[in-house]
Each structure stands twice: as C-alpha cells, then as structure tokens.
Amino acid sequence: MKSLKKIFLNGIVDENPIFRLMLGLCPTLAVTTAAINGVGMGLAATFVLVGSNLVVSLLKKLIPEKIRIPAFIVIIATFVTVVQLVMEATLPSLFNALGIFIPLIVVNCIILSRAEIFASKNTPLAAVIDGLGMGLGFTLAITLLAAFRELLGNGTLFGLTVMGSTYEPALIFIMAPGGFILLGFILAFLNAMRKEGA
Amino acid sequence: MRDFIKLPLVLFLVALIAGMILGVTNYLTKEPIRMQHEMALRNAREELFPDSEFITLEELSLSEENDNVIAVYESQKDGILVGYIVTMEKTGYAGAILLNYGITIDGMITGVNVGTNSETPGLGAKASDVEFTGQFIGKKNVTLVKGTAIADDEISAITAATITSQAVVDGVNQAIVVSDLVMEK
Amino acid sequence: MFKELLTSAIAIGIIGLVFGIILAFAAKFFHVQIDSKIAAIRAALPGINCGGCGYPGCDLFAEKVSTGEARVNGCPVSSKEQKAEIAKIMGVEQEDVEPLFAVVRCIGTNDKVTMKYEYEGIQDCAALAALGGGNKGCEYSCLGMGNCSRVCPTDAIEIDNGIAIVDRKKCIACGKCAIECPRDVISLIPKSAEPIIMCSSLNRGKEVKSVCKVGCIGCGICKKVCQFDAIEMKDNNPIIDYKKCEDCGLCAEKCPTGCIEFDFKKRKIAFIEEEKCIGCTLCKKACQFEAVEGERKEIHKIISDKCVGCRACYEACPTDAVHLISR
C-alpha cells in the first residue's frame, strides 16, 4: 500500500490525468478558453471526485459486481447535480460560462475510472487522498492550458488585461484548433523534460 | 434467484438515498436560484428602462414563429406606457442565449441586455460587452455587417463571432415585431 | 418539504429498482462461463500490460497461464508474493526463478575500435548495419544508434561513446531490446550474474585484434582457469554457465583483452564462524584455491591471501558456518 503522500502526489505528477493518463480531455479542450473557467471546472470536478471516491470506497463491499457501473454512475451523478445546483445558486456567472460541461462531469473519464480502478479497491482515506490528488492535478493542468489560451488569444489573464493594447490577440487559440495545438505543445515539452530528467 | 432480489434492491437503495440527497439540495437551493434570476431580471430592466414600473403581460397568444419569446413586460413611467421589454431565447453559437430587448412604443431600441449564455469567452461572449450592445441604442430595424457599420441601421459584428452577433440582431428585429403585435391588442 | 423530498427519492428509487431487475435478467440470460481461475490469476498480476511475458496484455497472459501454456512465474515484473499467489491458484509448486536482466555484449566503444567509414545518416542500427556491415570494423559489434534504447519501456538503456549500456537496476527483462537489436548482441542473463562476457565476436586472434582493442580473441584462457568448469567455448566465444559459476572472477582476471566484465570491488571474502564449524573439511575440499586450513575435527580458517571470494565453500558448508563478507 503506497503512502498517502505518494498517492496524493501521484495524481499531480506521475499520473496527472490530463498530461499522463490522457483522461477527461473533453472538458479540457472545451472550457479552457479562460483561466477562471479552468479553475472553476477543476474545483467542481475535484469536489465530485473526492465525494464519489469516498462513497464508492465506503460501499465497496455492499455493491454487487454486476451492478457496480450503474451504482457508481448514480453516486457520481448525485454529486454532480449537487454541484450544479449550488453553483447556479451562488456563482451564476461561472455556472453560465461552464454551461453544459457541468452535467458532463458525470461522464468525465477521470471520475468513473478512479472509482473503478482505485476507490473500489482501497480504503476510504486512500480513496479521498487519491481523489484530491487527481482532482488537483486536473485543476492545475486545465488552468495552465486555459491561462495560455486566454493570454495568447485574448490578451488577458483571469480577466485582467496583461498584454498591452498593441497586442493583436491570436484568436485561433480561443478556438478548438488552437486548444489542441497548445495542448500538444505542452505535452511535448513535458515529455522532453521527463526523458532528460530520467 | 438471489440475484433477482439483491441487484434491484441495492440499486433501489442507492437511487433512493441519492434521490433524497438531491431533494434536500434542491429544496435548499431553490430560493437562492430564484433570487439570482430575479436579480438578473431587475438589472436588465434598470438598464433598458430606468426608473420605470413593469407589468407582466399574461396571455400573449403569439403565433408559432414567436415560440422563443419567454415574456413581454409593459414599461410604464408615471402610469403612461412608454415601451416594452421583450425577453426571448435565441440560439447562438453554443446553445441558447437569453436576451432582453427594450423597445419604445415608436419601435425604437432603448437597449439590449444579454443574459445567461454559454458563448465562447473572447468571442461570442463579447456580445455582453457595451461595445457591441451600445450600437443598438436609438436604432430601429437593423442589419448585421462585418467590419465597420456605416449606415444608420447597420450593426458591426463581433470579429470571428458572426453567429452570435446575427442571433442578437435577429432577436431585436423580432422583438420590434412582437412589441408591435402586442401594442395592437 | 418532505413531500418534495419523498417524491424525488421514490421516483429515482423506482428507476433504480426497475433497472436492477432488468440487469438481473440480463445477468442470467447473457451469463458467460468464465474460468474463475483466469480472473483470480489476472487479479494477482501487476496489470501494467507491459508485454514482458511475451503476450500482448495481462488478460491474455492470465488465460495462457490457466491453460498451462505460460509459465506460472512468467510475469517478470510481478513480486515474489504475486508469483506465489499465481502458483497457489494453479495448484503447483512455485519454482524459484532467478530474475533476469538484459546485457549488451559489446564494449567496443568508438575509441577502442577501428572505423571503416564515417557515417552520417539515419540514426538507426538496422540502417547502419545494412551499409556494408556497419561502420565499425567488427561485424559482431553493437552499432550504438540506439534502437534498443528507444524500445526500452523503463528507459534502462543509455548510449555512450558508440555502444549501448543497460542499467541492471532498471531493466525488467521484458526482452524487447533483444528482439529489436539487428546484430543480436543482447542476451538475458541472471540479475546476479557477476563475471559477464562482453564480446559477441565469433572471430579469433588477429582478425579480432585488428579491428577492436577489447574484443575476445578466442584464446580460451578463461575456460582453462575456471576451477568450476563453468565456461565453454563455442565458435571462439566463451559462454558462462551461471548454474556452475561461483563468482570468483578468475576468468576476468586472466582474460588478456579485458573483455570479461567483473566488479572486483564487489569481490567478497569468506569467513568461518568458529562456533558453527564442525570441522568436516567439506569446505576445504570444495575450495579450488587452497584457501582453507584446518584438519578434521579442527575448526577451519580461511587464508585471506588466497581467498578469491567465490561461493564454493559457502555452498559446501552443511552448518551454514561460512559467511561471505566485503573485504
């Protein structure tokens, strides 16, 4: 059994869901048009991940093998709906910005896969730490991507103008192709760092 | 045989408890959500017709092509009808955009308020900015152009966000028609 | 409030119930007899799908183990406990198999060999080998273009000065490098192997010397000096039988070209624990270097100057009185 510290750091570095496991790419590319959206989506997903991991781990002995998928999905969907309702009540602008991608957290690969691979086979504490690690890794990754896209494509960062008025925003970075290209560059950079360091 | 009892029972219990949690959450957030919507509406009204009273028009009975109109409000100042606020939904680039238009009894636009939407930040989301919506004030029927607007009835589209811009323009023209229809009644 | 709560809870609850019943039906109708053994074996594996067993995935390996086609300890990255678990599932005795690692049998670095030509082309060993047998004079050499390094799943291979070197600790013995090498100079040997033959040349004498300073000239001295008969010469190339090898390092000491790798620093020395020694002289008989003194019923002692740190006496002692310690 790995130490809790190792489990936590695993989700941020070694098995970062976006940069290493390549899971949850759908919201990654869709909502990273502004840095604040990245943070919002990341934290919402982290809450769901921690919650569902905890519940799945607590119930792991009670859920029969044959219905584990519907059971997991119901648990995950419940957490997502709670997040959605709370967000609509307290953070309406973020809620609108994330739009349909909040309900899509239900089928975010990261959450179901961690429930299946980790939470259903480990203690509740380990599952919570894994959820935190993976969730934060996800948040950091998409916020990084979103920061780049917002900076290059809009000249702002978290809504504050950073690039001077003479900067002509490269709109491609806000659009889908730009997102893919930028993600590709980040991955290439990280792979190169890994190879050299190793 | 044991399966036939265990599987449905477990799923029933999981779903039941999930349903209860959701019921509680819904109950707790219903009021704040309603208040959020009300606040948005109040802000919109202030922007379009400052210091006025509003009466919600019931029984709109509009034709099918105006199915996207959610509500029409009469705007009155000191008891006199000055115009209407037409609230509708138009499909933009990334789904529905909630739009509130202020139209005077002469068919002139007092303002455009862009409500909840999921347009792309930096592109379609710019429709909420005053640089775009400000163009509409004081105009009557408008058309969308790319680049600079020259004639009086032209609206300059947001760069690389033509679909969103077109939706707002189509909406305002529809709002003018609707306010005319309502006035006739 | 309670009415709302109850409605939503019951509504979703009923949906759950209905689908639960549907799934129960489906489980019955579509039931597939899976050998529970396969699932158990699969659960005991590390599950990283590395292909080290030779099969394209852990699921298939588990299947092959259950049918007996694959060895019970065929997964090179599984722990001892996991191997024991799989053996238990299959109901067989777990043979203790030595973990292996890959070694590139060539130390012909760019400065030690004669080059036929200067190569400026695709950095690919197969491409280079196709050009008149490569740029190094020896036709059995490692070409150092890094094909093996690129396929290694654990980044255990480094290219240095024209040859490939495998990091013994990182290697998981998956065998991909051995398959990839177009010159076939990579073999899998026990991880604890100490003297290692580092040349693959099948030529001898002048033919080797003229193209490589550190190549094996096929003189056979290693075979002659080995006290344990662990070395055979095949086509001018020595092969060490690690079952017989006692790690003494004499072959490496006597090799005239220095092509046998042996860490002399690691050489241990034997030490007899007096309390446990029963004076049976078995160690003395096993020692080929006359490094044990002491008659029958007398406590034996190691003569440190003669001891080469091989394992003969250690293995011969019936009372575990011999210990191998660092010098």
Q: Are C278 and C139 part of one and the same domain?
A: no
Segments in C30-175 forming alpha helices (H): 36-44, 58-67, 80-90, 125-130, 147-151
Q: Do B122 and A150 touch (CB under 8 A)?
A: yes
Per-residue confidence band for C96, with pLDDT thresholds at 50, 70 and 90: low
Q: Is the pLDDT of residue C30 over 70?
A: yes
- Give me the residue label for tokens 């360091």: A197
- pLDDT, residue C83, reads 85
Question: SS3 for B76?
Answer: strand
How deeply is C169 buried, as exposed, middle or buried, from its count of CB atoms within 10 A (0-12, 13-18, 19+)? exposed
- pLDDT, residue A196, reads 63
Q: How far apart are CA C132 and CA A23, in angstroms?
A: 47
- Give me the residue label for tokens 């959020």: B36
Q: Do B6 and A64 touch (CB under 8 A)?
A: yes
- pLDDT, residue C95, reads 62
CA quadruple A122, A128, A133, A139: dihedral sign? positive
Delimit the domains of chain B by residue range.
49-184
- pLDDT, residue B159, reads 86
DSSP strand pairing (B154-156 vs B143-145) = parallel
Q: Is the pLDDT of residue C97 over 80?
A: no
Query: Residue C60's domain is classified under what CATH number?
Result: 1.10.15.40
Closest to B11 (Cβ–Cβ): which among C11, C16, C27? Answer: C16
Chain A CA closest to residue B115: A96
Delimit the domains of chain A by residue range.
4-197
Question: SS3 for B73?
Answer: strand
Chain A hits for C23, CB-CB cut-off 8 Å, are 66-67, 70
Chain A CA closest to residue C153: A195
Chain A hits for B122, CB-CB cut-off 8 Å, are 33-34, 150, 153-154, 169, 171, 174
B20 at interface of A, judged by CB pairs closer than 8 A: no
Sequence-distant (6+) residues with CB within 8 A of B65 are none
Q: How far apart are CA A110 and CA A106, in angstroms?
A: 10
Q: Are C104 and C224 part of one and the same domain?
A: yes
Q: Is the pLDDT of residue C34 over 80?
A: no
Q: How far is C174 from chain B (nearest CA, A)?
A: 43
Q: How far apart are CA C52 and CA C175, in angstroms?
A: 7
Q: What average pLDDT is seen over chain A?
A: 89
pLDDT in tens, A16-45: 999 988 888 988 988 898 899 999 999 999
Q: Is the pLDDT of residue B6 over 90?
A: no
C175 in a structural domain:
yes
Q: Do B15 and C17 touch (CB under 8 A)?
A: yes
Q: Is the pLDDT of residue A198 over 50?
A: no
Chain C hits for B7, CB-CB cut-off 8 Å, are 20-21, 23-24, 27
Q: Which of A159, A131, A147 is nearest to A45 (CA)?
A: A131
Q: Are C256 and C291 part of one and the same domain?
A: no
C13 in a structural domain:
no
Q: Are C283 and C186 part of one and the same domain?
A: no
Give Cα separations from B36 to A72, A91, A93, A94, B133 (angstroms): 32, 9, 10, 13, 22
Percent of chain C whose pLDDT exceeds 70: 98
Average pLDDT, integer, range C13-36: 86
Q: Do C155 and A195 touch (CB under 8 A)?
A: yes
pLDDT in tens, B102-161: 999 998 999 999 988 888 877 888 888 888 999 999 999 899 999 888 888 899 999 889
- Split into its structural domains, chain C has a count of 3
Q: Are C156 and C201 part of one and the same domain?
A: yes
Q: Is the pLDDT of residue C106 over 90?
A: yes
- Which of A53-57, A190-194, C18-22 reaches the highest mean pLDDT? A53-57
C234 in a structural domain:
yes
| Last residue in a domain, options C219, C242, C265 | C265
pLDDT in tens, C131-147: 988 999 999 999 999 99
- pLDDT, residue C263, reads 87
Q: Is the pLDDT of residue C294 over 80?
A: yes
Quote the ipTM score: 0.78
Q: How many CB atoms lie within 10 A of CB A58?
A: 13
C74 in a structural domain:
yes
Chain A CA closest to residue C30: A66
Is the backbone of residue C144 left (phi > 0), alpha (psi -120 to 50) or beta? left
Chain C hits for B14, CB-CB cut-off 8 Å, are 16
- B94 vs C1, residue with greater confidence: B94
pLDDT in tens, A64-105: 888 889 999 999 999 999 999 999 999 888 888 888 889 889
Q: How many CB atoms lie within 10 A of CB A117?
A: 12
Q: Is the pLDDT of residue A144 over 50?
A: yes
Chain C hits for A76, CB-CB cut-off 8 Å, are none
Long-range contacts of C65-68, Cβ-Cβ distance < 8 Å, separation of 24 or more = C65/C41, C65/C90, C66/C35, C66/C37, C66/C38, C66/C41, C66/C90
- pLDDT, residue A187, reads 92
Q: Is the pLDDT of residue C255 over 90?
A: yes
| Last residue in a domain, options C265, C289, C314 | C265
Q: How far apart are CA C171 and CA C188, in angstroms?
A: 10
Q: How far apart are CA C237 and CA C260, in angstroms?
A: 11
Q: Are C199 and C219 part of one and the same domain?
A: yes
Mark C97-118 as b/e (b = at least 16 C-beta within 10 Å): eeebbbbbbbbbbeebbeeeee
Q: Do A74 and C20 touch (CB under 8 A)?
A: no
